[in-house]
Amino acid sequence: GIQVEQSPPDLILQEGANSTLRCNFSDSVNNLQWFHQNPWGQLINLFYIPSGTKQNGRLSATTVATERYSLLYISSSQTTDSGVYFCAAEYSGGGADGLTFGKGTHLIIQP
Amino acid sequence: DAGVTQSPTHLIKTRGQQVTLRCSPKSGHDTVSWYQQALGQGPQFIFQYYEEEERQRGNFPDRFSGHQFPNYSSELNVNALLLGDSALYLCASSYPRLAGLQETQYFGPGTRLLVL
């Protein structure tokens, strides 16, 4: 099945800093999503972005499908941005894998 | 607009027992997927239901089974529980691919299962 790798695994920043999270995937995808998991376990949708660029407030994402990577940008970080960020992808060639998640980036924003 | 709901929120079972978890999809969605998330890991795909049939299945043993009802809600059943089944179980709903709609999956709050 498709492989999804995220980097960095951990990131500690001061409030107000900008950050870039990376997601590499091993094959062509028809679905790529970014999620933020809060401390209670809820996965919050950030972006559905199998290709192209999207922006939502301080967050933006870019997926370059031909090069098999996606980037999540967080600008002017706030303490509420802390948590685990997951990238998940689904192989476009069919199969039975559903969404394959990376291991996540654990982001800590310090005041 | 109600999102994805799951019940119960927490559950404690002992080894060998059976458990049933429930999920109601987001309004307008008819495809339900189940995921298992062990502590410190990303979620892993268990299976997906559409039109009351299992359409896709990940690498999980037959102890894991499911069902989808005519109102699109779904159940996940796990038999002969093992200690390693302790995890957060997440349900997600989406439009079916054939509908040509965006396949964004929306997740419920999860059920935390502890097997003792």
Spatial separation of the C-alpha atoms in residues B25 and B85, rounded to whole Å: 23
Between chains, do A48 and B107 touch, taking CB under 8 Å as contact? no
A–B interface: beta-carbon pairs under 8 A: 60
Task: Tell which residue, B10, B109, B103, B108, has the closest CA to residue B55.
Answer: B103
Give the three-class secondary structure for A72. strand
Give the three-class secondary structure for A10. strand
Give the three-class secondary structure for B13. strand
Q: What residues are paired with A62 via a beta bridge?
A: A53, A71
Spatial separation of the C-alpha atoms in residues B2 and A70, rounded to whole Å: 30
DSSP A9: S
Domains of chain B: 5-115 (2.60.40.10)
> Which residues on B lie below 8 Å from A86 (Cβ)?
42-43
User: How far apart, in Å, do the first and last CA atoms of chain A sit?
Assistant: 40
Residue B40: other Cβ atoms inside 10 A: 9
Give the three-class secondary structure for B1. coil
Domains of chain A: 4-110 (2.60.40.10)
Mutation target for A interface from B104, B111, B113: give the one with most A CBs within 10 A: B104
| Residue-wise pLDDT tens digits, A10-31 | 999 999 999 999 999 999 988 8
Task: Tell which residue, B5, B2, B1, has the closest CA to residue B73.
Answer: B5
Spatial separation of the C-alpha atoms in residues B90 and B112, rounded to whole Å: 9
Between chains, do A103 and B42 touch, taking CB under 8 Å as contact? yes
Q: What residues are paired with A37 via a beta bridge?
A: A43, A84
| Residue-wise pLDDT tens digits, B24-45 | 999 989 899 999 999 999 999 9
> Which residues on B lie below 8 Å from A41 (Cβ)?
37, 88, 90, 109-110, 112
Binding-site residues on chain A for chain B (CB distance < 8 A): 30-31, 33, 35, 40-43, 45, 48, 86, 88, 90, 95-104
Spatial separation of the C-alpha atoms in residues B25 and B107, rounded to whole Å: 9
| Residue-wise pLDDT tens digits, B50-105 | 889 998 899 999 999 999 999 999 999 999 999 999 999 999 999 866 655 557 89
| Residue-wise pLDDT tens digits, A58-105 | 999 999 999 999 999 999 999 999 999 999 999 877 665 689 999 999
> Which residues on B lie below 8 Å from A40 (Cβ)?
109
Spatial separation of the C-alpha atoms in residues B82 and B74, rounded to whole Å: 22
Retrieve residue B26's tokens.
């987001």
